[in-house]
Structure 1
Amino acid sequence: MGRAAEMTGTTSGFLRALGEQGVITPLRSEGGHRRFSRYQLRIAMRARDLVDQGTPIDTACRIVILEDQLEEALRINEQLRRPAKDAEPTADS
């Protein structure tokens, strides 16, 4: 936890708060230590940036969650818009 806080420029308490808000859920090692992915660390840094700009932490967490959902929806939308590589030729072809 301390190393993750150092890497993100936050505190352990801030990372715990993000976990309580449901923004990040680190895995646990056999010894019970929190293990953060690179993606979770990027999310934590984005939330920190918003809080540093004066956004309340609960609002920053909601913004980060919505940004993440939008990014995923856009990615899925782009995949669905691409023509299928294995599409059968039509009778008009």
Structure 2
Amino acid sequence: MGRAAELLGVTQAFLRSLDTAKLITPLRSEGGHRRYSRYQLRIAARARELIDQGTPIEAACRIIILEDQLAGAQRINTELRQAQHHPSQAEPPAGTTD
């Protein structure tokens, strides 16, 4: 946790507050130390950015969740569009038989 806080330029208490708010839940080592993924560090950095701009932590958490959902929906949309433009060659044309 100390290393993560140092990398982000935040306090350990800030990282604990994100855990309490259920924005990020780090894995625990055998010794009970919090271990953050790169994705969780990016989320924590975004939370810090929003909070530094004056956004309350609860609102910052909600914004980040919505941003993440939007990014996921946009990825799915892109994949569906690509599939429409490049249909699988494995499917025979409609109305044909073997």
Equivalenced residues, count:
93
Higher relative contact order (CA 8 A, sep 6+): 1
Task: State the distance in 1 between where 2:32 and 2:17 align.
Answer: 18
Larger radius of gyration: 2
Alignment of 1:1-93 (within 5 A): 1-83=1-83, 84-91=87-94
Alignment TM-score, normalising by the size of structure 2: 0.84
Q: Which amino acid aligns with 1:19?
A: D
Percent identity between matched residues is: 67
Q: Per the alignment, do residues 81 and 7 of structure 1 end up closer, same or farther by CA in structure 2, a change over 3 Å counting?
A: same
Deviation at 1:85, TM superposition (A): 3.5
Q: Secondary structure at the match of 1:77?
A: helix
Give the unaligned 5+ runs of structure 2. none
Task: State the distance in 2 between where 1:4 and 1:66 align.
Answer: 24
